[in-house]
Amino acid sequence: MYFLPAIIGRDKHDAAGIFLLNLFVGWTVIGWVIALIWACIAEPRAHVRFVPVAGRFCCQCGSLTYPGAHFCTACGRTV
Ligand SMILES: [Zn+2]
Protein backbone atom coordinates (compact mmCIF):
# COMPACT_ATOMS: atom_id res chain seq x y z
CA MET A 1 0.00 0.00 0.00
CA TYR A 2 2.88 2.35 0.81
CA PHE A 3 4.45 1.94 -2.65
CA LEU A 4 1.17 2.29 -4.55
CA PRO A 5 2.32 5.56 -6.28
CA ALA A 6 5.58 3.88 -7.38
CA ILE A 7 3.65 0.88 -8.70
CA ILE A 8 1.21 3.07 -10.63
CA GLY A 9 4.05 5.18 -12.04
CA ARG A 10 6.46 2.37 -12.93
CA ASP A 11 5.73 2.61 -16.68
CA LYS A 12 5.70 6.40 -16.75
CA HIS A 13 8.41 8.76 -18.01
CA ASP A 14 9.15 10.05 -14.46
CA ALA A 15 9.20 6.60 -12.83
CA ALA A 16 12.51 7.21 -10.99
CA GLY A 17 11.36 10.53 -9.55
CA ILE A 18 8.03 9.11 -8.48
CA PHE A 19 9.76 6.18 -6.77
CA LEU A 20 12.28 8.41 -4.96
CA LEU A 21 9.57 10.82 -3.80
CA ASN A 22 7.49 7.87 -2.64
CA LEU A 23 10.46 6.31 -0.83
CA PHE A 24 11.83 9.36 0.98
CA VAL A 25 8.82 11.67 1.46
CA GLY A 26 6.03 9.11 1.32
CA TRP A 27 6.02 8.67 5.10
CA THR A 28 4.44 12.11 5.32
CA VAL A 29 0.87 11.86 4.13
CA ILE A 30 1.20 14.91 1.87
CA GLY A 31 4.32 13.44 0.20
CA TRP A 32 2.49 10.20 -0.49
CA VAL A 33 -0.48 12.07 -1.96
CA ILE A 34 1.82 14.20 -4.16
CA ALA A 35 3.59 11.04 -5.39
CA LEU A 36 0.22 9.43 -6.14
CA ILE A 37 -0.98 12.48 -8.09
CA TRP A 38 2.35 12.65 -9.95
CA ALA A 39 2.06 8.95 -10.84
CA CYS A 40 -1.45 9.45 -12.17
CA ILE A 41 -0.72 12.49 -14.33
CA ALA A 42 2.75 11.53 -15.61
CA GLU A 43 3.09 10.75 -19.29
CA PRO A 44 3.62 7.10 -20.21
CA ARG A 45 7.07 6.12 -21.42
CA ALA A 46 7.39 6.00 -25.19
CA HIS A 47 7.97 2.50 -26.49
CA VAL A 48 10.21 2.06 -29.52
CA ARG A 49 9.64 -1.03 -31.57
CA PHE A 50 12.19 -2.54 -33.90
CA VAL A 51 10.74 -3.77 -37.16
CA PRO A 52 13.19 -5.74 -39.30
CA VAL A 53 13.00 -4.76 -42.93
CA ALA A 54 14.44 -7.05 -45.58
CA GLY A 55 14.37 -4.58 -48.48
CA ARG A 56 15.70 -1.07 -48.96
CA PHE A 57 13.85 2.20 -49.17
CA CYS A 58 14.09 4.40 -52.23
CA CYS A 59 15.67 7.76 -51.41
CA GLN A 60 13.55 9.49 -54.05
CA CYS A 61 10.00 8.27 -53.39
CA GLY A 62 10.37 6.27 -50.14
CA SER A 63 8.96 3.03 -51.52
CA LEU A 64 10.18 -0.31 -50.19
CA THR A 65 12.05 -2.29 -52.81
CA TYR A 66 13.01 -5.96 -52.96
CA PRO A 67 16.17 -7.10 -51.15
CA GLY A 68 19.16 -6.71 -53.45
CA ALA A 69 17.32 -4.52 -55.93
CA HIS A 70 19.31 -1.83 -57.70
CA PHE A 71 16.34 0.12 -59.05
CA CYS A 72 13.11 1.28 -57.38
CA THR A 73 10.03 -0.61 -58.51
CA ALA A 74 7.84 2.47 -58.04
CA CYS A 75 9.81 5.26 -59.70
CA GLY A 76 12.64 3.43 -61.48
CA ARG A 77 15.46 5.40 -59.88
CA THR A 78 18.66 3.85 -58.55
CA VAL A 79 18.26 2.69 -54.96
ZN1 LIG B 1 11.44 5.27 -55.87
| Tens-place pLDDT, residues 39-78 | 898 888 777 777 777 788 888 998 888 888 888 989 999 8
Rounded Cα gap, residues 55 and 50, in angstroms: 15
Q: What is the DSSP letter of 76?
A: -
pLDDT of residue 55: 80
pLDDT in the model for residue 32:
93
Confidence of residue 30 (pLDDT cuts 50, 70, 90): very high
Q: What is the amino acid identity at position 54? A: A
**pTM confidence score:** 0.55
pLDDT (0 to 100) of residue 75 = 93
| Ligand 1 centre distance from Cα of residue 52 (Å) | 20
| pLDDT higher than threshold 80 for residue 37 | yes
- For residue 56, how far is its CA from the centre of ligand 1 (angstroms)? 10
d(CA 20, CA 16): 6
d(CA 77, CA 55): 15
CA–centroid distance, 75 to ligand 1, in Å, is 4
CA of 47 to the centre of ligand 1 (A): 30
DSSP code of 64? B
